[in-house]
């Protein structure tokens, strides 16, 4: 409980109120979205943590355009309330039974024992009211509800409990949930796969259940200072994204750090990313250590030294991504680097591609199915496997083609316009290989009956696609 008076709490600005809430042991993604008045009411004891979380996430769901979330009281009477009752009441019942048994054996309970038993019972009741991140039965109950479709209350409250709302049948989701869950991170995960296979998208979706998600995009030109931080003409020190993540985790937030295309970095930059990920055990607890280079005063000697940030391992989850294959500008990992990560390979599968494309079509208001796009993708997979084209279309390009289409009839033209230069090889003159262009157009015409290509604006491509005859 905060030591501040109500008057002092009322004087807190938004950032100070949020910091005080974290300092008082409250957890959950809802805190970052709560209003200042909600945070101050919680600090003054006017509302419980459950009330604050439910009110905040209910307002967030309504603001995002989703169905209005249930009011706090009804939500506790529904499926989520039943889960709380089943999980915590069973514990209270067991304790109460034991209290009765002790009282019966003592005959007349001495005052000091009675006081201790009363205090214990009150702590358990408080534990129920604040609704417990660590009640395994409660998490199982909410997970079961979600697997059956769930109720709005369960879906809204699940991130607070660290329960994922994603399908656990996907191997990538399973790895992320097991190794990189908020507040109980075990080991960094490396997602490997081709471009557009959903590596970064999946990591970002997973990051929604954390207090903070920090993303680093790595390039061959990336320097260590770009990641850790640097002094500027106006500021003695500016934190880089890597330091941002470590500092937030050291301050008690549940942080997901996404390192996109990690193996495109130079050796020096990679060491900056990977060396801090060797856990150190201090007083029986595991920490990731980052030496930032920022000068700070040593409290013992008073001399300047380089700052070291200790981020609790369970608070800092790390997900890295990399392309695979000889066509990509990546440096292979050495054994020490491989040891840092739990690798997981992601592939584009029909069901996943279909669900993503259909979501984009729904967002555009298109009423057709994703069948023609899936048919085109399957045909291109065969062409790529037989080396008749360079690359198979990625999920990203197909989804963007839908997003940029004027109407459903425009989809194949957008696919052609956006992907042809990627999927076909080049001649010695640097022009698109004509035979491969024809095969892509034939696949589109087979998937989209009646499709007539429109000019792309690239003369070399248009010279081929505008004279291609329909397949037999």
Q: What per-residue confidence (pLDDT) applies to 156?
A: 46
> Which range in 44-53, 124-133, 161-170, 205-214 is most confidently predicted, on average pLDDT?
205-214
State how far the Cα of 190 lies from the Cα of 333, in Å rounded to an integer: 11
Tokens of 355: 């669900």
In the chain, % of residues over pLDDT 90? 23
Higher pLDDT, 126 or 381: 381
How confident is the model at residue 133, as a pLDDT? Answer: 42
Mean pLDDT computed over 186-195? 87
Spatial distance between the Cα atoms of 108 and 329, rounded to a whole number of angstroms: 79
Residue 385's pLDDT band (cuts 50, 70, 90): confident
**Residue that the structure tokens 């080991």 belong to:** 187
* Most confident stretch, 88-102, 110-124, 145-159, 256-270: 256-270
**Residue range 445-452: mean pLDDT, rounded:** 92
Provide the terminal-to-terminal Cα distance of the chain, rounded to the nearest Å.
77
Phi-psi category of residue 248: left, alpha or beta, with phi > 0 → left and psi -120 to 50 → alpha: alpha
For the residues 256-278, what does the mean pLDDT come to?
Answer: 86
Relative to beta strand 229-230, strand 280-282 is unpaired
Q: What is the pLDDT of residues 62-92, one digit of tens each?
A: 544 444 444 333 333 344 445 445 545 555 5
Q: Does residue 365 have a pLDDT over 50? A: yes
Q: Which residue has the higher pLDDT, 66 or 384?
A: 384
Q: Could you tell me which of 16, 2, 12 has the C-alpha nearest to residue 44?
A: 2
CB atoms within 10 A of CB 3: 7
**7, 11, 12, 14: CA torsion to nearest 10:** 130
* Lowest model confidence (mean pLDDT) among 108-122, 152-166, 174-188, 212-226: 152-166
Q: Name residue 255's beta-bridge partners.
A: 212, 316
In sequence order, the β-bridge partners of residue 44 are: none
Q: Tell me, what's the pLDDT at 123? A: 56
14 vs 111, which has greater pLDDT? 14
Q: Which residue has the tokens 């999920």?
A: 395
Single pTM value for the model: 0.55
Provide the pLDDT for residue 413.
92
- E runs forming strands in 203-333: 212-217, 229-230, 238-239, 255-260, 280-282, 285-297, 304-312, 316-322
Average pLDDT for the chain: 77
Query: Which whole number is the average pLDDT over 235-253?
Result: 93
- pLDDT tens figures, 269-279: 888 888 888 88
Q: Is 44 helix (H, G, I), strand (E, B) or coil?
A: coil
Q: Where are the beta strands (DSSP E) in 181-272?
A: 189-192, 212-217, 229-230, 238-239, 255-260
Q: CB–CB of 39/28 below 8 Å?
A: no
Query: Which of 150-154, 244-248, 358-362 has the highest average model confidence (pLDDT)?
Result: 244-248
Three-state SS letters, 329-369: CCCCCCHHHHHHCEEEECCCCHHHHHHHHHHHHHHHCCCCC
Full set of structural domains in the chain with CATH: 76-161 (no CATH), 171-344 (3.40.50.300), 350-465 (no CATH)
pLDDT reading at 427 higher than 70:
yes
pLDDT-derived band at 242 (thresholds 50, 70, 90) equals very high
- Give the dihedral sign, CA 425/429/431/432: negative
* CA distance to 145, 199, 229, 341, per residue, from 172 (Å): 22, 9, 31, 14
What's the pLDDT score for residue 255?
96
The Cα 75–Cα 66 span in angstroms is 16
Q: What pLDDT is recorded for position 100?
A: 57
**Which tokens go with 372?**
């023609």
- Is residue 425 predicted with pLDDT exceeding 70? yes
Residue 462, classed as helix, strand or coil, is helix
Contact criterion met (CB below 8 Å) for 423 and 380: yes
Lowest mean pLDDT among 28-32, 313-317, 321-325, 385-389: 28-32
């Amino acid at each position: 409980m905060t030591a501040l008076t109500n008057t002092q709490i009322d004087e807190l600005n938004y950032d100070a109120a949020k910091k005080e809430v974290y300092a008082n042991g409250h957890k959950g993604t809802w805190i970052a979205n709560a209003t200042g008045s909600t945070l101050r009411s919680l600090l003054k004891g006017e509302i419980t943590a459950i009330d604050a979380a439910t009110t905040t996430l209910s307002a967030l769901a309504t603001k995002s355009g989703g169905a209005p979330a249930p009011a706090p009281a009804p939500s506790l009477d529904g499926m989520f309330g039943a889960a709380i009752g089943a999980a915590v009441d069973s514990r209270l019942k067991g304790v109460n039974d034991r209290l009765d048994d002790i009282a019966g054996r003592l005959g007349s309970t001495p005052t000091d024992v009675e006081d201790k038993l009363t205090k214990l019972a009150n702590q358990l009741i408080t534990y129920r009211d604040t609704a417990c991140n660590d009640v395994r039965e409660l998490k199982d109950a909410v997970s079961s509800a979600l697997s059956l479709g769930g109720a709005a209350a369960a879906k809204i409250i699940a991130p607070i409990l660290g329960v994922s709302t994603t399908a656990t049948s996907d191997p990538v989701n399973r790895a992320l949930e097991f190794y990189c869950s908020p507040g109980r991170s075990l080991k960094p995960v490396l997602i490997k796969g081709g471009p557009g296979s959903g590596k970064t998208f999946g990591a970002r979706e997973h990051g929604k259940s954390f207090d903070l998600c920090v993303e680093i995009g790595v390039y061959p030109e990336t320097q260590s200072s770009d990641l850790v931080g640097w002094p500027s003409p106006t500021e003695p020190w500016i934190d880089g994204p890597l330091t941002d993540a470590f500092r937030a985790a050291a301050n008690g937030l549940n942080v997901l750090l996404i390192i996109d295309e990690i193996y495109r970095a130079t050796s020096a930059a990679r060491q900056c990313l990977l060396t801090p990920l060797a856990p150190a055990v201090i007083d029986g607890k595991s920490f990731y250590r980052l030496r930032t280079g920022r000068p700070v005063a040593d409290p013992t000697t008073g001399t300047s030294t380089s700052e070291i940030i200790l981020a609790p391992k369970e608070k800092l989850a790390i997900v890295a991504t990399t392309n695979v294959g000889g066509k990509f500008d990546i440096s292979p990992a050495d054994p020490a680097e491989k040891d840092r990560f739990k690798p997981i390979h992601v592939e584009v599968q029909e069901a996943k591609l279909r669900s993503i494309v259909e979501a984009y079509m729904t967002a555009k208001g298109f009423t057709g199915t994703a069948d023609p796009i899936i048919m085109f993708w399957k045909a291109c997979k065969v062409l790529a496997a037989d080396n008749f084209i360079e690359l198979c279309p990625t999920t990203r390009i197909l989804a963007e083609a839908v997003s940029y289409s004027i109407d459903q009839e425009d989809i194949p033209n957008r696919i052609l316009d956006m992907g042809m230069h990627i999927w076909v090889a080049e001649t010695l003159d640097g022009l698109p290989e004509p035979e491969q262009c024809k095969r892509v157009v034939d696949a589109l015409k087979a998937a989209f009956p009646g499709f007539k290509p429109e000019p792309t604006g690239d003369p070399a491509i248009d010279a081929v696609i505008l004279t291609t005859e329909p397949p037999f």
